[in-house]
Amino acid sequence: MGQPNHLPSSGHQATTLLAPTRSKPLQTLPPSSAAAPKSDLSAYEPVKTLRKTLQGSVVLMRHRSTGVRYAVKIAQKRLVNAGRSLSGVRVCENIQQEVALLRDLSRTPCANIIQMADCIEDDDRYIVVMEYAARGELFDFVEERGMLTEPKARQIFAGVVHGLESMHNRSICHLDLSLENILLADDATPKICDLGLARRLPPASGAPFQGSISTRPGKLSYMAPEVYVGRDFHGTQADVWSLGIVLFIMLFGFPPFEIADSSDIRYDFMQRRGLRALLDEWKLGSHVSRDALDLLAAILRPAHSRITLAGIMRHPWMTRAA
């Protein structure tokens, strides 16, 4: 049984949305409390396109008066309103909901969550101005290095766990955690981004989200097994599973399986024999510490026995000095 030899595709889509049009503050939402100057898009000078998205692009822009650089997410309004991607595929991402959640999170800012600076709406586009994380996606960071040392992986993972804890404490779950949705600042501080699929937890304490094959959130490689099969699921548990896939890829340089389903030979093997046996098949069982394997095994298990976020923070691998 061979190991996967590449990271899951980032899935970014292509478009160009830089042409200026008449702008106004985003009318569907209250004014932002972030510290950036309020303006229309003409106040920002495009520098370069950072990446493509399903409904537009993320562009590096410089504020003309202050010189501060921002990552500006631009989405075509017609696609957002129709719930479609540039290729016409139905999408669940919602930039307006993302702005509302980012604003909520900004009331108690967390260094490990990307901060929104401004939001703008013009005739054709929804525009979100966010802080710029200069070192880019964790996906690219890992792809360049192949695998990270345990101290480096722990440093990044601890920051992501802290950011996710802050979200869960605000009754928000991300539901799309991946290497692409974690950015690195100049000092390598990890920052969770892309809350387009994030949801508020159900008001009834302990109530699950309704599962559905057609609207399951997230990327397949990072998706919890209960989400993949369309069962009702708890958002916090699904986020923890995705954390485990992120940690595995940082430590080994590739994902453990393509989908968390018995139809995937590697996932099925892990379910029957255990994670250590799967790694031994690839002669990687001794590549990382016993504590690291124990934490991964505690995460990559069925929802009812999966470790909690609080349990992750107390785990010996997390509390060990770097």
- Active-site annotation, residues: 176
Q: How far apart are CA 19 and CA 119, in angstroms?
A: 17
According to DSSP, the residues that pair with 46 across neighbouring strands are 61
Terminal Cα-to-Cα distance of the chain (whole angstroms): 34
Q: How far apart are CA 178 and CA 29, in angstroms?
A: 28
- Structural contact between residues 29 and 94, judged by C-beta atoms closer than 8 angstroms: no
- Structural contact between residues 132 and 48, judged by C-beta atoms closer than 8 angstroms: no
Q: How far apart are CA 36 and CA 66, in angstroms?
A: 9
- Structural contact between residues 261 and 229, judged by C-beta atoms closer than 8 angstroms: yes
- Neighbour count for residue 221 (Cβ, 10 Å): 20
DSSP letter string over 54-67?
SSEEEEEEEETTT-
Q: How far apart are CA 81 and CA 96, in angstroms?
A: 10
Residue 69 in 3-state DSSP? Answer: strand
**Rg of the chain in Å (alpha carbons):** 20
Q: How far apart are CA 256 and CA 253, in angstroms?
A: 10
